[in-house]
C-alpha cells in the first residue's frame, strides 16, 4: 500500500532537478514505497504530450532499502524535446497486485534563449491612460467614436446603458501622455522601473481595447512625438515602457473593419475587395461576423491571414517593430491565450530582432504552463513565446490568504507555479492584486466581496465606511509587502497606492485623486519601492519558505548580496518573531536584537544587519478593526530552519 512518502516531486530524494527543466536534462526519479507493501517491481510511464503523445515505459530497478522502504529509481532522458511530459508510476506486488501514482507534470522548456532580467527585477506601474493625469480638457470634435469629455476630473464615469441598452464607454476624462510626463518624477520616487500602459492607440472607447488604428496615438492622448518624448524622459530616469498589444480583435470603428464608415479607408465592411477583408471571419457579409466574446463592437481577427501577420510583426515596419523603434521596451499581449502559438512566436522573434532587450508579457488568467485554449495546449512559457505572464494565480492565492485562508494554501499554490514554470517565467511573472479588469483591491479587502449581490446603481454610489476602509488598508499593506518581496515584478495598478476604491469597471477606473491621496498608503508603497531597489535579494534572491501556518506568512529571499526575511501577520493577535540575526527596522531604523521577542504593534518593514548582509521585512497594521480583529503585528517565526537533505535546492527549506 502506498502513502504520501512514496513519491514527492518537490523533494530531491524523489526527483532531481527541482521543477521545470531545459531540454536535454536527465531527470532522476525515485519511488520509496513501504517495505510492508510487498512491491517487487516499478515502472515509469511518461507521455510526451507535444510529441504526438509519445508513450514510454521505463523499468525502475530496485536500488536497495532505506529504513523500512524499498527504493526504485530511473533516469528520464528529455533529449531535444520541448513541451509537457505527464509521468506516472506503476508498482507491482509479488501477488500480482498493481498500484498507480500520478500523473505528475514535468515542464521541459527551451533553455537556449536568455530572457532579459530587467522586467522581473523591477517594479511595474499600470496606467489607464484616460484616467491618470490630464494637462487640459480636450475638445473631442473630429475624433472617432462620438466622444464626450468630462469637464470635471472628479466626476463619475458613465455606467448606465444608453437608449439601446449599451454601455458604450465613449465618455472620456482626457488623461494624456503629457500628464504622465509631468508625473514621471512621482513614479520614479515610488520606485517604479516599468510603465505599463493600457492601449494608447486611436480607438473610439475610453479603454481603447477596440483598436481603431495601430499606427496612430489616440489624439486625445497626444501624438507620436509626445510618445517619443515620454519614452526619452522615462529612459533618462531609468524607467522602461511596455505597451498593450490588442491583436486578437479590433474595433468596429477602425480603419480596418470600418463598420460605421468613420475612416476614409475602404474597410472590410465596405468591400470584399478591401485588403482588410481577409482579416475577419464573416458568416454573412457585411453584418454577421465573429467577434470577441460575442461583443459586436469588437470584431475578431483572423490571425492566420498572412497579410495581417506581416502588418503586426512580419514586415520591416510592422507594428511590433515600429513602436519599439519609437521608444517602447516591450509588449503586454492582451488575451494571449486566444492568439495562436505561432503568432505569439512571430511577435516574440520580431521584438527580439528589433530590440534584443525587449520583453513579451502575456495575459493569461490561469497556470500558463498547462493552459488549454480552444482545444490546444498552449506553449506560452516553453521558450520563444512569452517571457512572463500576468500572475493571476498569485493574485487569487494572496487575496484568499488576506481574506482568511491558511497561509499554507498560499505556499502550496506558489510551489505549484514554481514547479511548473521555467525559471525565467517564474522570475518574470507580473505579480499584482488589482488591474483594470478587477475590482479595486482596497474595496475587495475592506468589504470582502465584489458587491454583485447589489445592483449597479448601488455599486456606483458605494463608498466604504471608515471601519471597512481601515480594514482594507491594513490588509492591503500586508499584501503589498508580499508582492514587493516575492520573486517576479511587483505591479501596482494606478491609484492603489493612493487609496482608490470601487467595484468593477468603470468604478475601478475612476480618475487618480491628485491632492487627495492617502498619505499613509503612499508612504508605505514608497518605502516598499525603496526596499526593492536597495536590497538586491528582493530583486534576484531565491525563495525559501520559513513559517506558513494559520495567519502568518513568512519567507526568505537569499542571494549573493544578502538575505531578506519577509513576514506578515494577517491574524487578530501579535505573533512572536525569532530573528536569526541582529537587524534594524527598515521603516524606523530601530535596532532589533537577535533572538525571540514579542513584535511591537506598530507598522514595521524590513531590517538589515549592521554588516548589511541580512534583512528582516515585516508589516504590522496597528489600528483596531471590526469585532474579533484587533492588532496585527510584525510576524514571522524562525525557531531555526528545518532543512531537508536538499537544503541547497529550491523548495528544500521547510518551515513550521
Return the C-alpha cell found at 496.
492603489
**Are residues 510 and 436 in contact, defined by beta-carbon separation less than 8 angstroms?**
no
DSSP 109-147: E-TTSPPPSHHHHSEEEEE-HHHH--SS----TT-TT--
Instruction: Measure Cα distances from 530 to 330, 439, 492 in Å.
Output: 24, 27, 14
From CA 378, how far away is CA 401, in angstroms rounded?
29
Distance (Å, rounded) from C-alpha 83 to C-alpha 386?
14
Geometric angle at alpha carbon 218, from 217 and 222, rounded to 5°: 75
Q: What's the DSSP call for residue 385?
A: S
| CA distance linking residue 21 with residue 382, whole number of Å | 10
Residue 224, class by beta-carbon neighbours within 10 Å (0-12 exposed, 13-18 middle, 19+ buried)? middle
Task: Check if 363 is active-site.
Answer: yes
Q: Are strands 372-373 and 376-377 parallel, antiparallel or unpaired?
A: antiparallel
Query: Measured between alpha carbons, how far is 618 from 219 in angstroms, rounded to an integer?
Result: 45
CB 508 within 8 A of CB 438: yes
The residues with which 591 forms a beta bridge, in sequence order, are 584
CA dist 358 to 331, 337, 419, Å? 8, 20, 26
Q: Could you say which of 363, 387, 419, 646 is catalytic? A: 363
Selection from 250, 249, 245 nearest residue 362 by Cα: 245
* 376 SS3 class: strand
Burial of 266 (0-12, 13-18, 19+ CB in 10 A): middle
- Cα separation, 230 vs 207, whole angstroms: 20
260 is known as an active-site residue: no
- Strand bridging mode 583-584 / 591-592: antiparallel
Q: What's the CA gap between 654 and 544, in Å, rounded?
A: 8
Separation between Cα atoms, residue 608 and residue 606, nearest integer Å: 7
Alpha-carbon gap, residue 250 to 256, rounded angstroms: 8
Looking at the DSSP assignment, which residues form a beta bridge with residue 66?
Answer: 69
The residue from 70, 334, 338, 608 that is catalytic is 334
Residue 120 has phi, psi (to 5 degrees) of -65, -25
Q: Can you count the helices (H) and strands (E) in the chain? A: 16, 36
Q: Following DSSP, what letter does each residue of 446-481 receive, concatenated? A: HHSS--TTS-HHHHHH----HHHHHHHHHHHHHHHH
Question: Which residues are designated catalytic?
Answer: 334, 363
Amino acid at each position: 500500500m502506498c502513502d504520501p512518502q512514496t513519491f514527492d516531486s518537490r523533494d530531491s530524494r524523489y526527483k532531481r532537478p527541482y521543477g521545470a527543466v531545459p531540454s536535454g536534462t536527465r531527470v532522476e526519479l525515485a519511488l520509496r514505497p513501504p517495505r510492508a507493501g510487498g512491491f517487487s517491481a516499478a515502472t515509469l510511464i511518461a507521455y510526451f504530450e507535444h510529441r504526438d503523445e509519445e508513450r514510454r515505459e521505463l523499468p525502475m530497478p530496485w536500488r536497495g532499502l532505506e529504513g523500512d522502504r524499498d527504493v526504485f529509481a530511473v533516469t528520464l532522458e528529455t533529449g531535444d524535446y520541448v513541451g509537457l511530459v505527464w509521468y506516472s508510476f506503476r508498482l507491482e506486488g509479488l501477488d500480482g497486485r498493481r498500484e498507480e501514482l500520478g500523473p505528475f507534470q514535468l515542464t521541459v522548456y527551451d533553455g537556449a534563449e536568455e530572457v532579459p532580467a530587467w522586467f522581473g527585477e523591477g517594479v511595474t506601474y499600470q496606467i489607464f491612460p484616460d484616467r491618470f493625469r490630464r494637462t487640459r480638457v480636450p475638445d473631442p470634435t473630429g475624433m472617432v467614436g462620438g466622444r464626450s469629455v468630462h469637464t470635471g476630473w472628479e466626476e463619475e464615469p458613465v455606467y448606465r446603458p444608453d437608449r439601446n441598452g449599451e454601455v458604450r464607454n465613449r465618455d472620456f476624462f482626457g488623461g494624456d501622455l503629457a500628464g504622465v510626463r509631468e508625473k514621471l518624477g512621482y513614479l520614479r520616487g515610488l520606485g517604479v522601473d516599468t510603465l505599463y500602459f493600457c492601449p494608447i492607440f486611436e480607438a473610439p472607447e475610453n479603454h481603447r481595447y477596440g483598436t481603431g488604428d495601430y499606427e496612430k496615438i489616440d489624439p486625445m492622448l497626444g501624438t507620436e512625438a509626445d510618445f517619443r518624448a515620454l519614452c526619452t524622459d522615462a529612459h533618462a530616469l531609468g524607467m522602461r515602457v511596455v505597451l498593450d498589444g490588442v491583436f486578437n480583435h479590433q474595433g468596429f470603428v477602425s480603419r480596418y473593419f470600418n463598420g460605421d464608415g468613420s475612416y476614409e479607408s475602404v474597410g472590410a465592411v465596405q468591400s470584399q475587395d478591401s485588403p482588410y477583408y481577409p482579416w475577419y471571419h464573416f458568416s454573412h457579409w457585411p453584418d454577421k461576423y465573429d467577434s470577441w466574446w460575442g461583443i459586436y463592437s469588437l470584431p475578431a481577427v483572423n490571425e492566420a491571414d498572412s497579410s495581417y501577420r506581416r502588418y503586426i510583426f512580419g514586415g520591416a515596419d510592422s507594428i511590433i517593430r515600429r513602436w519599439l523603434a519609437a521608444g517602447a521596451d516591450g509588449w503586454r499581449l492582451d488575451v494571449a491565450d486566444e492568439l495562436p502559438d505561432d503568432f505569439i512566436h512571430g511577435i516574440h522573434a520580431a521584438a527580439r530582432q528589433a530590440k534584443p532587450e525587449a520583453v513579451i508579457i502575456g495575459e493569461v488568467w490561469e497556470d500558463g504552463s498547462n493552459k488549454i485554449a480552444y482545444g490546444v495546449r498552449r506553449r506560452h512559457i516553453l521558450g520563444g513565446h512569452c517571457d512572463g505572464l500576468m500572475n493571476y494565480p498569485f493574485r487569487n492565492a494572496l487575496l484568499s490568504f488576506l481574506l482568511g485562508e491558511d497561509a499554507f494554501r498560499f505556499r502550496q499554490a506558489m510551489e505549484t507555479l514554481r514547479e511548473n514554470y521555467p525559471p525565467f517565467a517564474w522570475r518574470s511573472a507580473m505579480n499584482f492584486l488589482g488591474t483594470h479588469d478587477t475590482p479595486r483591491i482596497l474595496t475587495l479587502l475592506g468589504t470582502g466581496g465584489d458587491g454583485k449581490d447589489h445592483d449597479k446603481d448601488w455599486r456606483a454610489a458605494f463608498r466604504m465606511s471608515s471601519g471597512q476602509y481601515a480594514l482594507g488598508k491594513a490588509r492591503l499593506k500586508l499584501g503589498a509587502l508580499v508582492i514587493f518581496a516575492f520573486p517576479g515584478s511587483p505591479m501596482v495598478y494606478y491609484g492603489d497606492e493612493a487609496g482608490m476604491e470601487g467595484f468593477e469597471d468603470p468604478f475601478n477606473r475612476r480618475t487618480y485623486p491628485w491632492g487627495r491621496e492617502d498619505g499613509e498608503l503612499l508612504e508605505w508603497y514608497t518605502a516598499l519601492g525603496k526596499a526593492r531597489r536597495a536590497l538586491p535579494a528582493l530583486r534576484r534572491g531565491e525563495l525559501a519558505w520559513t513559517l506558513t501556518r494559520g495567519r502568518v506568512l513568512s519567507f526568505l529571499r537569499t542571494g549573493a548580496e544578502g538575505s531578506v526575511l519577509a513576514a506578515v501577520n494577517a491574524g487578530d493577535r501579535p505573533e512572536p518573531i525569532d530573528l536569526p540575526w541582529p537587524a534594524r527596522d527598515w521603516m524606523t531604523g530601530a535596532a532589533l536584537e537577535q533572538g525571540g521577542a514579542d513584535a511591537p504593534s506598530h507598522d514595521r518593514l524590513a531590517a538589515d544587519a549592521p554588516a548589511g548582509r541580512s534583512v528582516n521585512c515585516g508589516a504590522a497594521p496597528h489600528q483596531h478593526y471590526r469585532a474579533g480583529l484587533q492588532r496585527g503585528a510584525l510576524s514571522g517565526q524562525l525557531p531555526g530552519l528545518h532543512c531537508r537533505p536538499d537544503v541547497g535546492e529550491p523548495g528544500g527549506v521547510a518551515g513550521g
